Amino acid sequence: MNETEKLIYGGNPKSITEYFSLNKKIEQEKLRGNIKEKKNIKIALLSSFTINGVKEVLNVKCFQSDIVSDFYVAPYNQYLQQIIDKNSQLYKFEADIIIVFIDSKSLLGEYFYFPYRLTDTERKDYIGKLAAELITSIRYLKDNSKSKIVLHNFEVPLYSAMGILESKMAFGFLESVQLLNNKLKDEFRNDAGVFLFDYDTFCSKYGKKNICDPKMYYLADLKLDFSFIAPLCENYLSYIKPLLNMNKKCLVLDLDNVLWDGILGEDGLEGIKLGPTGEGKPFFEFQKLILGLYERGVILAINSHNNYNDVEEVFKNHPYMILKEKHFATLKINWEDKISNMRAIAQEINIGPDSLVFIDDDKLNRELIKDALPEVLVIDLPEDPSLFPETLSEINDFNVLQITQEDAKRGRMYAEQRKRQEFQKFATDITEFLRGLEIVVTIEKVNALNIARIAQLTQRTNQFNMTTRRYLEEDIKKIDKSGNFLIASVKVEDKFGDNGITGAVIVEKEDNKWRIDTFLLSCRVIGRRVEEALLAYIIEEVKKENGKILIGEFIPTKKNIPAKEFYKNNDFTLVKNENGTEIWSYDVSKDYKYPEFIKIVKKNIL
């Protein structure tokens, strides 16, 4: 790291001026071409008022998260013109993400001051009309760009001329702004391209009285005080990180003074403080928040210096231990160094260290990990345990843009995987082990329920992926419509649990020659011969429609070595090898059987 980089990364800017000065340094670094190994994003900002400062602060925040950002800021209050003109700078910029920040006063106009000049019905109509217009322009923006859109909802005002009678009004003023927000939420609830940012809650968090400095507003139409630009940008990062696949997947926890108050080895089961009252309460609630993350799909792991048996006793016998052994994908409870443990955790779960978040109360351990594994996000846990829950709630790195059923179950599935591996240790022979797993593979042609997951798998699967072609849901819909493709998902279950949809294939039908466009399996289910079941299924389909030849491709990447030998091992013949890209062929008149220990279920819902 050079001096400037140190300044940029180590910098924790306290004021807008400090952000501006870091921003300038970053821009200089960019010009010098000193930037490597970072992700890029193009951000467009549309607003109804002066948002000077947002670009600079967001640029710094992105850079500190290893993202190089490029901005387009629409001219003052020109958001609508920019949206409706297809030739505008906004569309030319081709943003990855467009943030639309319109404030209540600008949108509501005179209604903001005189809502009660209108009758109850007129108010309702007016709000309905505003919502419809806004929705139309956002839809138009979406249809004419490939960007994800983050739309601010509206701050519910604090004041009504009706005073205490506001709550007695039929369709009151404040209520009407809430209704507007609800309409927007309903409209975009199931839209994968538009996200409603709850700006009203953001304002409440910092206090609606503080968020705008009236003097700045009257002087320069600044509706957001400078000191809240940084937290706002932090919220924007919650969308940007998952858009770049930079979201974290696993929370790695220390135990002593993190999940309970005290040192287990010294204080013992009875001595540690954990429970619904007194000093143990923040820890008790901290554990509940962690369990909440687990239930929405975050994988949990432990990296702690302790005696395993002592901890096991806490899991079993402590009345207030919320987190149980079964919630953890791996438990590194030993006296090894924490760095090796951390590496082992990543390896066992089969994710990169850049997917890990580490929580430890000991500053030394934190620095150790930061230094050895800079990709791991290390949380600076405050000294005071009463701040633990809040600290956890402010981690925005677990956000995903879309949650599939598989995501929600992920934490549990990894914990089940550990049981499976323990079971493997007892089985002597691999086939015996696989038979003992009682694997059920469900193959399902593409339908409304699995399409999002199929697209997600093409985006995320790197290892057992023959071609690494990335598709969006829209792409898959399109190729499915053509009628020339076999598209299917694979679900894998066994006696330890349900892995969910963990594989997909896309095969193009060309007369009697079929071509495997995509063949992938999540690393979670590799090594169980599910891939063979999937291939058997494809061959069966080719035969059914009187195809003769099945073509497979292997396109090498840095990560897909596990897939390299697949066609070779399954009796395909190499036709061509061009710069590493291999074309393989299989004559389907040859017999190919499903692995006998796997139960196959074929589903076809349309």
At residue 127's C-alpha, the angle toward residues 123 and 132, to 5°, is 145
The correct pick among 28, 34, 40, 52 for binding another protein (CB under 8 A) is 52
Report, in Å, the least distance between residue 76 CB and another protein: 12
- Torsion angles phi and psi, residue 510, rounded to 5: -120, 95
Taking residue 32's Cβ as centre, other Cβ atoms within 10 Å add up to: 9
Give Cβ neighbours of residue 569 (< 8 Å, ≥ 6 apart). none
User: Closest approach of Cβ 52 to another protein, in Å?
Assistant: 5
Per-residue tokens: 484:
């020339």
Strands 497-510 and 485-494: antiparallel
Query: How many residues contact another protein, by CB under 8 A?
Result: 16
Tell me how far apart the alpha carbons of residues 255 and 325 are, in angstroms, rounded to a whole number. Answer: 13
Q: How far apart are CA 596 and CA 164, in angstroms?
A: 74
Q: Bin 317: left if φ > 0, else alpha if -120 < ψ < 50, else beta.
A: alpha
Q: Does 379 bind another protein (CB under 8 A)?
A: no
Question: How far apart are the two ends of the chain, measured CA to CA in Å?
Answer: 55
In this structure, are residues 313 and 269 in contact, taking their beta carbons and an 8 Å threshold? yes
Q: Which lies closer to another protein via its Cβ, residue 103 or residue 553?
A: 103
Residues in a beta bridge with 598: none
Q: Tell me whether residue 59 or residue 365 sits nearer to another protein (CB atom).
A: 59
Which of 5, 9, 21, 192 touches another protein (CB under 8 A)? Answer: 21
Measured CA distances, 232 to 66, 235, 549 (Å): 19, 5, 56
Q: Is the Cβ–Cβ distance between 465 and 520 less than 8 Å?
A: yes
Q: 3-state class of 223 per DSSP?
A: coil
Q: Please, what is the minimum distance in Å from the beta carbon of residue 56 to another protein?
A: 11
Pick between residue 216 and residue 263 the one whose CB is nearest to another protein: 216
Is the Cβ of residue 15 or residue 245 nearer to another protein in the bound state? 15
CB of 225 to another protein, least distance (A): 8
Residue keyed to tokens 């062929």:
585
* Interaction pattern, residues 345-364, with another protein; x per rule: CB under 8 A: --------------------
Nearest residue (CB) to another protein, 225 versus 354: 225
- Which residue from 277, 282, 417 is spatially nearest to 345, judged by alpha carbons? 417
> How do beta strands 497-510 and 464-465 pair?
unpaired
- Residue 214 Cβ, how far from another protein at the closest point, in Å? 8
Residue 16 or residue 472: which is nearer to another protein going by CB? 16
- Dig out the tokens for 277 from the structure: 């009252």
Q: Which of the ranges 10-18, 163-171, 491-499, 585-593 carries the binding residues for another protein, by CB under 8 A?
A: 10-18
Task: State which of positions 536-575 bind another protein (CB under 8 A).
Answer: none
CA-only gyration radius of the chain, Å: 28
- In the complex with another protein, which residue's Cβ is closer, 215 or 590? 215
Question: How many whole angstroms separate alpha carbon 300 and alpha carbon 415?
Answer: 8
Q: Which is nearer to another protein, 220 or 574 (CB)?
A: 220
- Residue 200 Cβ, how far from another protein at the closest point, in Å? 24
The pair phi, psi for residue 224, each rounded to 5°, is -130, 120
Neighbours of 398 (CB within 10 A): 18
| CB-nearer residue toward another protein: 216 or 368 | 216
As measured in angstroms, the least distance from the Cβ of 59 to another protein is 16
CB of 579 to another protein, least distance (A): 51
Cβ atoms of residues 388 and 381 within 8 Å: yes
**Residue 541: HSE in the Cβ half-sphere, 13 Å Cα cutoff:** 25
Contact, 181 vs 129, CB < 8 A? no
Closer Cβ to another protein, 218 or 426, answer by number: 218
Residues 59-98, mask of contacts with another protein (x by CB under 8 A)? ----------------------------------------
| Residue whose CB is less far from another protein, 15 or 204 | 15
Residue closer to another protein (CB basis): 45 or 506? 45
Closest approach, Cβ 17 to another protein, in A, equals 5
338-349 helix and 363-372 helix, angle to the nearest 10 degrees: 60
The reply on whether position 335 binds another protein by CB under 8 A is: no
Among 1, 6, 15, 204, binds another protein (CB under 8 A): 15
**Contact flag: residue 426 with another protein (CB under 8 A):** no
Stretch that binds another protein, among 11-19, 266-274, 324-332, 341-349 (CB under 8 A): 11-19
Give the footprint of another protein on residues 195-224 (CB under 8 A): 213, 215-216, 218-220, 222
Q: Of 221-250, which residues contact another protein (CB under 8 A)? A: 222, 225-227
Contact region for another protein (CB under 8 A) — 15-23, 413-421, 425-433, 455-463?
15-23
49 makes contact with another protein (CB under 8 A) = no
Single out the segment in contact with another protein by CB under 8 A; choices: 16-24, 435-443, 534-542, 585-593.
16-24
Of the CA atoms within 13 Å of residue 270, those in its CB half-sphere come to: 0
Question: Least Å distance between CB 79 and another protein?
Answer: 20
Nearer to another protein, 26 or 488 (CB): 26
CA 108, 113, 117, 120 torsion: positive or negative?
positive
Hey, which residues does 471 pair with through a beta bridge? none
- Whether residue 585 contacts residue 575, with contact meaning beta carbons closer than 8 Å, is answered with yes
- And the tokens for 167? 């709550």
CB nearer another protein, residue 21 or residue 88:
21
Cβ proximity to another protein: between 17 and 245 the closer is 17
Stretch that binds another protein, among 13-21, 129-137, 250-258, 346-354 (CB under 8 A): 13-21
Compute the CA torsion angle 386, 387, 390, 396 (nearest 10 deg).
-150
Query: Is 177 among the residues that bind another protein (CB under 8 A)?
Result: no
N residues, the chain: 606
Which residues here bind another protein, judged by CB under 8 A?
Answer: 15-17, 20-21, 52, 213, 215-216, 218-220, 222, 225-227
